[in-house]
Structure 1
């Protein structure tokens, strides 16, 4: 029973990452289609109109969800690439740390920009 449990937990992590990547891709796609649609139906937007759009709380929340989706999607993808192609454990850990640090910094930078509007 213990052997089956450990095998399932490994398979579950792979499936979970796969499912999260698909979910984040859907969030990014919906946001992108919505923003492109807004641009197509409102050609020649001025800075004031952009500012008005992004100063609304619902747009800030949706954009924050988009930012989180992009960063989590990137983390899973890069972690998978490093796991598959970087064989030295120490180098892989250093690269993972650097990428994770960069992604966290990008998150706070995005929040700072988004909430300063």
Structure 2
């Protein structure tokens, strides 16, 4: 039996809600970026940096990166518990993916806020 320690949420219902909420945030960010590229004829560095100099855009992007972290964490846990039965292999793969997701989140944090 798989323990819930490897998952992001406290229970299956909690994971379900986190997955749905994170997917909505990712979808809204994707729609916004598609709209931005569709409505901006020539994207230059000045326009791009101007967009990301707004506080609301930094917060929206960080929220989206956090949603990607949560979505990926829960998703990889669910897939691995379904298809990888060897505990050690599953833990190693989950560790690699978790480190990768955290690195992406931290890189986004550093790029957005210049920390």
- TM-score between the two structures when normalised by the length of structure 1: 0.83
Aligned residue number for residue 22 of structure 1: 20
Q: Secondary structure at the match of 1:44?
A: coil
Aligned residue number for residue 47 of structure 2: 49
Q: Which has the larger radius of gyration?
A: 1
Aligned residue number for residue 86 of structure 1: 84
Matching residue within 28, 52, 60 for 2:58: 60
Compare the two structures and name the one with the higher helix fraction: 1
* Cα deviation code 1:53-98 (max 9, x no counterpart): 0111111010000111112111111110111111011111111112
Q: Secondary structure at the match of 1:48?
A: helix
Structure 1 stretches of at least 4 aligned residues deviating more than 2 Å after TM superposition:
none
RMSD: 1.3
5+ long unaligned stretches in structure 2: 1-9
Q: Distance in 1 between matches of 2:41 and 2:62?
A: 24
5+ long unaligned stretches in structure 1: 1-11
- TM-score between the two structures when normalised by the length of structure 2: 0.85
